[in-house]
Amino acid sequence: MSLKPGVLQTKVSSSLQFEFNRKMASLGPFENCPHIAVALSGGADSTAMLYLLKDWSKAYGAKITALIVDHKLRSNSTSEALLVQKRSQDLGIRCYILTWNDSKPSGGLQAAAREARYKLLGNWCLSHGVLHLAVAHNNDDQNETVLMRLKHGSGKFGLAGIAAQRQMGWGRLIRPCLIFSRSSLREYLRKMGVAWIE
């Protein structure tokens, strides 16, 4: 018997959603009607996480807000951020663009951008009383981190890799996509017919 169009899409998305919901349960308990901020770049990983969280939120009464950081490092970064914001709003998810306006260092730009990104995201969460910030690290990121730490001699502590959750001064970071490979998240988006930014 052949599958009708959309059946495979439903199976792929529901299987991933089921695993995602289980992972979110392991990151709980959450307060009643939790408010979760999503670090959204518009790439495949964060876009998939946004869709997964949107479906999860329906069952758990959660409020989802997407946050985009415009680092102003590329000439098209603002137009790209506006496109990602529109896609989020088209999903019915409120979305804000946070801008890194500080002067950019001549060296160590990537590390400075990362630090600025987490500072902007954390400050937004703090000022809006949001206790959970979801970031879209995946299993490939996890493996790369462990290998890099071992390569740099971090020993047995390097095997710990990226934590699924981390307490911050304003609340906590959660990483519900650590259980998924990069390719599985992209396949999920393809089956859903969702575009992302490379």
Angle between helices 44-60 and 182-192 (to 10 degrees): 70
Domain ranges within the chain, ordered by starting residue: 7-69+82-100+109-192
pLDDT of residue 2 exceeding 50: no
pLDDT of residue 122 exceeding 60: yes
pLDDT of residue 157 exceeding 80: no
Tell me the CATH architecture of domain 7-69+82-100+109-192: 3-Layer(aba) Sandwich (3.40)
pLDDT for the residue numbered 104? 85
The 10s digit of each residue's pLDDT in 6-50 is 433 455 578 999 999 999 999 999 999 999 999 999 999 999 999
Bridge partners of residue 98, in order along the sequence: 69
pLDDT for the residue numbered 8? 38
